[in-house]
């Protein structure tokens, strides 16, 4: 007698589950032709892709917009700002089929550098970007001046926004330690740590062209060399072939020509 009501409940449960999942799926709006033109003009990484990969890049940018909020603080944000932030997020994950930043809900865009108290006026302001922790967990802060500089022709090997998104990738395994364990096979972990420390020693001895900020700790080393990898891949491959090869494994990309 009790089995009949239960049988009726099963399809009701399945319908309710479907509606819940459907409701949670974000609406993804495709990029406009204007958006694509901005990407082509300002994002060299996108500009150098073939037509198939450009379409995939655009889809990933649109997905980022649908899943992460971008909020201006003390400035009027432009479409260029939004597209540069999204591009910074997509570039490190472009080699992965279905990656989303589950540890990020909001990107706050500040007009310029800021301090440890998140103030962007007066005082000592040297921070260009940061991934939040504690009560700021799930948030990233970026300086617009640093964001735009990272995509300029004068940026060289540096890109602050890519640097911060690499920190998020690093953090996704539970520890921001320069060892992205969910992006690399286990057998490469110890060789990667050894390689990092050998290169950090070369930087300390002034025998490397890698930004000295990389010797701060392993997490900063990984983020700094990742900037180099995406901004000047040919140069990195030429000067640091082993490092370049290891990063191709981590990011599943070969950006060098």
pLDDT of residue 9: 56
pLDDT of residue 127: 81
Q: Which two tokens stand for residue 115?
A: 């301090």
Q: How far from each other are the two terminal CA atoms of the chain, in whole angstroms? A: 71
Q: Which two tokens stand for residue 231?
A: 């901004």
Query: Which helix (H) or strand (E) element contains residue 175?
Result: none
pLDDT of residue 116: 76
pLDDT in tens, 64-121: 999 999 999 999 999 999 999 999 999 999 999 988 898 899 999 998 888 776 666 6
Q: Is 114 helix (H, G, I), strand (E, B) or coil?
A: strand
Task: Mark the ranges of the chain whose per-residue pLDDT is less than 50.
Answer: 1-4, 23
The model's pTM = 0.87
Q: Edge-to-edge strands of the sheet including 69-72? A: 69-72, 106-110, 139-143, 129-131
Cβ neighbours of residue 224 closer than 8 Å, sequence gap 6 or more: 163, 210, 211, 213, 214
pLDDT of residue 1: 44
In sequence order, the β-bridge partners of residue 106 are: 69, 139
């Amino acid at each position: 007698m009790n089995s009949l009501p239960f049988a009726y409940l099963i399809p009701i449960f399945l319908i309710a589950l479907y509606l819940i999942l459907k409701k949670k799926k974000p609406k993804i709006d495709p990029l406009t032709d204007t958006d694509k033109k901005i990407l082509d003009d300002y994002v060299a990484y996108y500009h150098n892709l073939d037509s198939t990969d450009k379409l995939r890049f655009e889809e990933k940018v649109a997905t980022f917009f649908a899943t992460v909020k971008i909020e201006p603080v003390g400035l009027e944000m432009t479409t260029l700002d939004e597209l540069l932030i999204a591009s910074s997020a997509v570039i490190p994950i472009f080699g992965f089929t279905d990656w989303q930043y589950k540890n990020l809900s909001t990107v706050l865009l500040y007009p310029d550098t800021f301090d440890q108290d998140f103030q962007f006026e007066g005082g000592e302001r040297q921070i260009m970007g940061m991934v939040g922790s504690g009560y700021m967990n799930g948030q990233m802060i970026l300086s617009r001046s640093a964001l735009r500089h990272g995509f300029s022709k004068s940026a060289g090997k540096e890109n602050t926004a890519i640097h911060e998104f690499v920190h998020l990738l690093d953090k996704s395994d539970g520890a921001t330690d320069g060892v992205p364990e969910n992006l690399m096979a286990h057998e490469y972990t110890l060789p990667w740590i050894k390689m990092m420390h050998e290169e950090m020693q070369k930087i300390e001895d002034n025998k490397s062209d890698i930004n000295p900020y990389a010797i701060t700790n392993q997490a900063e080393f990984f983020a700094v060399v990742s900037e180099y990898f995406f901004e000047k891949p040919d140069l990195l491959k030429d000067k640091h072939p082993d490092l370049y090869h290891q990063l191709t494994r981590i990011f599943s990309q070969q950006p060098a020509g």
